[in-house]
Structure 1
Amino acid sequence: MRNLLYALTALAVMGLVFWAYRENYGTQKALKQVAKLQTEIAGLKENLGMQRAEWAFLNRPSRLHQLALLNFDKLKLVPMSPSQFGDVSQIPFAPPPAADPAGSPGMAAGADPAAKTAHPAAAGGGRTALNTPLAKPGQKR
């Protein structure tokens, strides 16, 4: 009985040694991976800093002004002016719905209930506030 207890204890110790060995090497492998990732992160941060510096260098106002002057014929960039924007009065809004003397909601007087259109734009010739072209600045409607 005592020999069996010694054998089981020896097997348990060998099992614990094997487990500790695996945990030790697993931890070392994880630490190497962490060090590798930290090195990669440091390289990426350095690269990002370099790219930000390059972006700032390329977007200098003096450089952009020179590029705009060199490519004026192609780009036709001009300073913005208030006349380039539209006015609220140029936006075509939908007319208000007509008053219904019959009192039935959704039906105009004398309208045939069977002749309803599928889309409100179809009744108005297809023109709505969303697809009517805006007048250009200085152009009358």
Structure 2
Amino acid sequence: MRSLTYLGCVLVVMGLAFWAYRENYATQAAMGEMSQVQREIAGLREELGVLRAEWAYLNRPDRLSQLVDLNFERLQLVPVERGQVLGVGQIDYPKPPTPADPLTDPNASDTAPSEETQP
């Protein structure tokens, strides 16, 4: 009976050792993948910084004004003046239609009129 207990303990220890071995390599693989993803993120951030710098370089006001001067006749661009720009408060938005109340309006019906019946 003692030999079966020793054999069982040895098998349990071997099983746990095998499990720990697999977990160790799985953890190392996950850490390697994580470091690869971090390197990729760093590369993408660097590329984004370069793209932002290029965008800022290409959108310089003096460069854009030179392009406007070169292509004035073809594009027919005119300079923006102070009176051409409006604030949001100055825009006249249409008011949404108010639904008819059947209690106060005797001509209102329960159903909405279709587009064919409207004048």
Q: For the residues of structure 2 that align with 1:84 and 1:27, how far apart are their CA atoms? A: 60
Partner of 1:106: 107
Could you say if the C-alpha distance between residues 119 and 105 of structure 1 is closer, same or farther in structure 2, counting changes exceeding 3 Å?
farther
Partner of 2:39: 39
| Residue identity in the other structure for 2:106 | P
Q: For the residues of structure 2 that align with 1:71 and 1:15, how far apart are their CA atoms? A: 78
Q: For the residues of structure 1 that align with 2:80 and 2:14, how far apart are their CA atoms? A: 82
TM value normalised by structure 1: 0.61
Aligned residues: 103
Which secondary structure state, in structure 1, belongs to the residue aligned with residue 41 of structure 2?
helix
Could you say if the C-alpha distance between residues 30 and 84 of structure 1 is closer, same or farther in structure 2, counting changes exceeding 3 Å?
closer
User: Where in structure 2 are there 5+ consecutive unaligned residues?
Assistant: 96-103
How far off its partner does 1:106 sit? 2.3
The structure showing larger relative contact order (alpha-carbon pairs under 8 Å, at least 6 residues apart) is: 1
Q: For the residues of structure 1 that align with 2:13 and 2:74, how far apart are their CA atoms? A: 82
Could you say if the C-alpha distance between residues 37 and 84 of structure 1 is closer, same or farther in structure 2, counting changes exceeding 3 Å?
closer
Q: For the residues of structure 2 that align with 1:23 and 1:83, how far apart are their CA atoms? A: 68
Could you say if the C-alpha distance between residues 38 and 13 of structure 1 is closer, same or farther in structure 2, counting changes exceeding 3 Å?
same
Q: 2:25 aligned with 1:25, yes or no?
A: yes
Identity of aligned residues (%): 50
How far off its partner does 1:120 sit? 8.2
Q: 2:114 aligned with 1:118, yes or no?
A: yes
Runs of 4+ in structure 1 off by over 4 angstroms are none
Q: For the residues of structure 1 that align with 2:28 and 2:105, how far apart are their CA atoms? A: 82
Greater percentage in helix:
2
Could you say if the C-alpha distance between residues 79 and 105 of structure 1 is closer, same or farther in structure 2, counting changes exceeding 3 Å?
farther
Q: For the residues of structure 2 that align with 1:23 and 1:92, how far apart are their CA atoms? A: 66
Partner of 1:73: 73
Q: For the residues of structure 1 that align with 2:24 and 2:8, how far apart are their CA atoms? A: 24
Q: For the residues of structure 2 that align with 1:65 and 1:16, how far apart are their CA atoms? A: 73
Q: For the residues of structure 1 that align with 2:67 and 2:10, how far apart are their CA atoms? A: 81
CA RMSD of aligned residues (A): 3.2
Structure number with larger C-alpha Rg: 1
User: Where in structure 1 are there 5+ consecutive unaligned residues?
Assistant: 94-102, 108-116, 124-141
